């Protein structure tokens, strides 16, 4: 992976690289650099499998981090390419023209975080959250307790808190053994 790292740094703007193991590397780049890098990796380096796209809400920094997790079957290598996008204007280009399977991951991230993937024609269709009218639930500023109280009432919240206490007590007893 060291040679791959050198080739990518020569050809693209890579902000940071971390070689985790001989067959696993993490790279960070600018959001506008994602499409050319992913295209290059698929066509020239054998990373033909998109394993996952994930999102992390870094509310303190005011951005979302999008991570593309790729797999090279022939070399048995994993590569994660990360980029940050502005949380206030959460727009990012779709990668469906490179990896058609990205459609489902982008729809999920759109629904759960509110990231708009420009060019994904199905992203506005309900995915998991039917008729959702609140802010996306995986954003860190989503108030889970307030939502639960509004939709499920105090009784259920208190019951769940008691269950948590029982679980915590059992866990502490188990740890002492």
Q: Which residues pair with 67 in a beta bridge?
A: 54, 82
How many helices and strands (H and E) does the chain possess? 4, 7
- Encode burial over 38-61: b for 16+ CB neighbours within 10 A, e otherwise: bebbbeebbbeebeebebebeeee
CA dihedral of residues 105, 106, 109, 114 (deg, nearest 10)? -170
Q: Give, for all 177 residues of the chain, the pLDDT tens digit.
A: 889 889 999 999 988 888 888 889 999 999 999 999 999 999 999 999 999 999 999 999 999 999 999 999 999 999 999 999 999 999 999 999 999 999 999 999 999 999 999 999 888 887 788 778 889 999 999 988 888 778 776 665 556 666 667 677 777 777 776
Rounded Cα distance, 80 and 67, in Å: 6
Which H helix or E strand runs over 119? none
């Amino acid at each position: 992976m060291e040679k791959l790292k050198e080739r990518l740094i020569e050809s693209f703007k890579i902000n940071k690289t971390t070689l985790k193991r001989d067959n696993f590397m993490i790279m960070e780049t600018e959001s506008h650099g994602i499409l050319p890098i992913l295209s290059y990796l698929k066509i020239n380096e054998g990373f033909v499998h998109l394993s996952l796209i994930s999102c992390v809400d870094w509310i303190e920094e005011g951005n979302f981090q999008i991570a593309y997790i790729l797999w090279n079957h022939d070399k048995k290598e994993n590569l994660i390419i990360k980029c940050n996008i502005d949380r206030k204007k959460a727009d990012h280009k779709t990668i469906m023209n490179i990896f058609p399977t990205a459609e489902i991951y982008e729809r999920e991230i759109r629904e759960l975080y509110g990231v708009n993937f420009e060019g994904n024609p199905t992203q506005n269709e309900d995915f998991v959250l039917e008729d959702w009218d609140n802010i996306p639930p995986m954003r860190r500023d989503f108030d889970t307790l307030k939502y639960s109280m509004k939709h499920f009432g105090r009784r259920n919240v208190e019951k769940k808190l008691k269950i948590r206490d029982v679980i915590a007590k059992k866990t502490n007893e188990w740890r002492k053994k």
